[in-house]
Structure 1
Amino acid sequence: MKNYNRIKLRETLRSSYWFVPTLMTGAAIALAFLMLNLDLAGKSELMEIFGLKPFTGGLESGLTVLSTIAGSMITVAGTVFSVTLVALTLASQQFGSRVLRNFMQDMKYQFVLGTFLATFIYCLLVLRSINVDREQAFVPKISITVAILLAIASIIVLIYFIHHASTSIHAWHIIREISDELESNIDGLLSENVGNRHPEDKRQFVEEIATSFNQKVYPIQANSSGYIRAIDYNRLLNIAKSKNLLLHLKQRPGKFIVRGSELVGISPPERVNRRLTQQINYAFILGRERTPFQDVEFSTKQLVEIAIRAISPAVNDPFTAIRCIDQLSVALCRLAAKDFPSPYCYDDDQNLRLITNQVTFAGLVDDAFHQIRQYGRQDVAVTIRLLEAIATIAMYTDNKKNRVALLRHANMIRRGSQDLLEELDREDVEERYQAVMKALSSQNVDSILDV
């Protein structure tokens, strides 16, 4: 699965605090040797091309400048690392440990740390080259000048770091980043291209296949436990085509499976062997944690976790929860206006080969609103915002199933609001509920009022 392996490698490198600093340190080593070679060749006049005047101090001044810069850079690097850990701790406590992934992949922190380490290494290498013998004194003027420029650049980076560290732990910043990732996941879901999902000539009818399939199927079990990080659908499609099989996927990315759980149902069962079982297991990429790749529910649950933490009695921050609801409504509005990919995948000959376990709009609405509704039952502001979000989403879809899901949640919210002590609060909730019904009234909702 080349695409997944590439994404996995990219995420691993992005979340590794050693990768960017190591690259920058390597660049600093190369720069130090280059500048020292220019000094040895007496090319000080090259700096005048860039309007710079080479260092004019003597041996003692050069040693002092380099020692001062090196000492200050390693001190600031330690401070930067400490501040980063504090930011991670605060984010974990307030928003949950799952948002640490977003912080770990923030390459700005890595770039700042790499800047100070690179400047420190550069100064050490230049210091090493200085000959302290006064009779044969060698003062690398170009190298020292570049060290001063790196120190100035490091100060600018430090100012930027202070600003970024102070804003990156704000709720709006974290929610915005997760929302952007959710938008990206939605793009991946809507553009998923596996086989021919909508053939014009369906040679096999789904109803007939489903009936015969359930009567004669062989279950393929998982060889290990863990979260499904990705599924190589194209590989499964090729296996099914080459062996003339029909595969029914029982799991989807993001689900936790236990060893021995059913992954795929295969028909006809007489073609199953040990090698085929291994090939199908290899198409399921498992891991200890969930990842957003192929898993549109991942970012949704992150926003939900932030919201329910915000409305907990220990935090009592409904404004953050409302912001999460707003971002969830943006994503659901977009999903409501689109057609989800069909779970039925055909080969080039229009033969049904895969029946995938697709996420549904109703399922995503449940993921987005169930827990927020349950934990925010006594919070009037959150309850009202949930109904307002549902009313907004309803205007983006004319699909009856989608509207059934929205109405079901509106009814649950309405029933939960009956426990509110203040009558005016209940009236406010009822007013928003009627707005939901008005938004749904563009279609015939009489048949779903009892949901």
Structure 2
Amino acid sequence: MKLLFRKLKAFFDSIESQIAFYPTVIAILGSVFAFIMIYLETLGASKYFRDNIPLLVLDNEETARAMLGVFIGGLISLMVFSFSMVMVLLNQASNNFSPRILPGLISNRKHQLVLGFYLATLLYCIFILVSIEPTADKDKIPGFSVLVSIILTVFCLAAFIYFIHSISQSIQINNILEHIYESSKNRLQSLVKDQRKHENNFPDTSNWHQYNSNRSGYFQNIAIDALIDISIDKETKFKILVAKGNFILDGVPLFSSEKELEDEVVEEILGAFLFAKGELIKNNYILAFKQITEITVKAMSPGINDPGTALNAIDYLTELFALRMKKEDLSIYYREDEQYIYQVSISFEELIYNVMASIRLYCKHDIIIVQKLLVMFKYLQYQPCADDSYKDVILNEVKVLAEESRKNLSNDRDLQTLEHYLEDFEVKD
């Protein structure tokens, strides 16, 4: 049951990030609401309001048809314009920042809800228009349903104004970086909160039995509770051989077991691994570092040349690295103080190296960016960390950055500034 729940959750997370998910759901609800209104009309809803509040109910068939036709045409135009703006937003963000940020923009729930409300209102108006039959009896004209369509259209106009405001804010780099940062921050804080101080008493795994993946995709998550249940039942322990977020190929070693397992058990364990065709920050905080790094590199590329954006991105990297330093590299899963699963994870050293390797390539010649990076390292040196070796990793990155910068800075004033900032790290030429 736990495994099924995790798979359903993973499936929901994957479709929720699609731009058509919420609009489709809301459009279906709009259609259902239209049929409910048509049913209420057969019960005399319009007649009741016409007898009690006649000012609110239309009693002319042609007027009702004309109004609904105008609403339908206007909403179609509104939708076309709104979807066009979304496509322009995605294209501009991809060209100026990074294609990796597109899933985050597409999954913006506020925009999906607005587009869904457009669709729901449009379908409602279409069904109500079709339900109007030629008649001379005023009681059979769905005046109340037309009144509801007027109200919904007014709300669509208000939603359109909000949509214009929201989409203009979404394309701003500060808001994009803030969204990436907040998503990764929440994930990291959750991991730091759940980690336990412990000694690594996990047995040697060099001679364990290895089992391969039976599919390809991004290793998104794993049903830990289900895997621990299998571990206890089979009296064995497991080691996950790949880190979350990595793309796994079919046939690549995926996990190892202390004891040899039957084929049925292996299939059950493989079912506990959750794969996806894309990456989500809320499941893998490493993706946030990748995205912010790519934004920094793109900003410093000759085609964009936007050092201001690079400086902002480094500020967010600084905060994320400070949070990451509170997390141990070791990932061991427990139940009642017994260690059952060892999870291979990306170490702090590997993470900061991958980030800095990309940034150094485009920023080593810019003293302003180099200065900002050294300020980041100085800040990180004074942050609490889960492992004292993290400070040595930071110092090594400072040395590499200093070496590369000295080779690429030709101005004496820039070199003096570099040496001034390096004094805090005792890095000699």
Report the TM-score, using the length of structure 2 for normalisation: 0.88
Q: State the alpha-carbon separation in 1 of the partners of residues 296 and 189 from structure 2.
A: 24
Extract unaligned runs of 5+ from structure 1.
438-448
2:362 to 375, 394, 418: 375
Q: 1:221 to 1:44 in 2, by over 3 A?
A: same
Contact 2:7–2:274 under 8 Å retained in 1: no
Following superposition, the deviation at residue 22 of structure 1 comes to 2.9
Equivalent position of 1:444 in the other structure: none
Contact 1:59–1:137 under 8 Å retained in 2: no
Deviating beyond 6 angstroms after TM superposition, the runs of 4 or more aligned structure 1 residues are: none
Equivalent position of 1:232 in the other structure: 223
Question: What are the equivalent positions in structure 2 for 1:275-424 lying under 5 Å apart?
Answer: 275-336=264-325, 338-340=326-328, 342-348=330-336, 351-397=338-384, 399-418=387-406, 419-424=408-413
SS in 2 for 1:120: helix
Q: State the alpha-carbon separation in 1 of the partners of residues 113 and 249 from structure 2.
A: 40
Equivalent position of 1:143 in the other structure: 145
Task: List per-residue Cα deviations over 1:415-450 (Å, max 9, x = no partner).
Answer: 11112111111222222222455xxxxxxxxxxx79
Contact 2:221–2:244 under 8 Å retained in 1: yes
Query: RMSD of the alignment, in Å?
Result: 2.8
Task: List per-residue Cα deviations over 1:33-75 (Å, max 9, x = no partner).
Answer: 4445258341216986xxx940456333322222111111112
1:95 to 94, 97, 113: 97
Equivalent position of 2:118 in the other structure: 116
Q: 1:277 to 1:149 in 2, by over 3 A?
A: closer
1:43 aligns with 2:30: no
Equivalent position of 2:183 in the other structure: 181
Q: 1:316 to 1:141 in 2, by over 3 A?
A: same
2:238 partner letter: L
2:310 partner letter: A
Q: State the alpha-carbon separation in 1 of the partners of residues 251 and 12 from structure 2.
A: 31
Q: 1:47 to 1:421 in 2, by over 3 A?
A: farther
SS in 1 for 2:49: coil
Q: State the alpha-carbon separation in 2 of the partners of residues 258 and 166 from structure 1.
A: 40
1:190 to 181, 189, 192: 192
SS in 1 for 2:287: helix
Q: State the alpha-carbon separation in 2 of the partners of residues 4 and 123 from structure 1.
A: 39
Equivalent position of 2:28 in the other structure: 26
Equivalent position of 2:251 in the other structure: 260
Q: State the alpha-carbon separation in 2 of the partners of residues 293 and 4 from structure 1.
A: 15
Q: 1:116 to 1:249 in 2, by over 3 A?
A: closer
Q: State the alpha-carbon separation in 2 of the partners of residues 343 and 9 from structure 1.
A: 25
Q: State the alpha-carbon separation in 2 of the partners of residues 145 and 243 from structure 1.
A: 65
Q: 1:235 to 1:403 in 2, by over 3 A?
A: same
Q: State the alpha-carbon separation in 2 of the partners of residues 412 and 66 from structure 1.
A: 68
Following superposition, the deviation at residue 84 of structure 1 comes to 1.4
Q: State the alpha-carbon separation in 2 of the partners of residues 423 and 62 from structure 1.
A: 79
2:392 partner letter: V
Contact 1:47–1:53 under 8 Å retained in 2: no
Residue identity over aligned pairs, in percent, reads 23
Q: State the alpha-carbon separation in 1 of the partners of residues 222 and 101 from structure 2.
A: 24
Q: 1:316 to 1:55 in 2, by over 3 A?
A: same
Following superposition, the deviation at residue 345 of structure 1 comes to 4.0
Contact 1:131–1:137 under 8 Å retained in 2: no
Q: State the alpha-carbon separation in 2 of the partners of residues 324 and 249 from structure 1.
A: 33
Following superposition, the deviation at residue 120 of structure 1 comes to 1.9
2:209 to 218, 223, 246: 218
1:392 partner letter: Y
Following superposition, the deviation at residue 346 of structure 1 comes to 4.6
Report the TM-score, using the length of structure 1 for normalisation: 0.84
1:218 partner letter: H
Equivalent position of 1:170 in the other structure: 172
Contact 2:239–2:255 under 8 Å retained in 1: yes
Contact 1:300–1:367 under 8 Å retained in 2: no
Q: State the alpha-carbon separation in 1 of the partners of residues 111 and 265 from structure 2.
A: 46
Contact 1:328–1:368 under 8 Å retained in 2: no
Q: 1:19 to 1:223 in 2, by over 3 A?
A: closer
Residue range with higher mean Cα deviation, 52-61 or 164-173: 52-61
Task: List per-residue Cα deviations over 1:346-378 (Å, max 9, x = no partner).
Answer: 553x55432221333323322333311222111
Following superposition, the deviation at residue 312 of structure 1 comes to 0.7
Contact 1:132–1:138 under 8 Å retained in 2: no
Equivalent position of 2:131 in the other structure: 129
Equivalent position of 2:73 in the other structure: 71
Equivalent position of 1:251 in the other structure: 242
Following superposition, the deviation at residue 226 of structure 1 comes to 2.9
Following superposition, the deviation at residue 339 of structure 1 comes to 4.4
1:120 partner letter: L
Following superposition, the deviation at residue 403 of structure 1 comes to 0.5
2:268 partner letter: Q
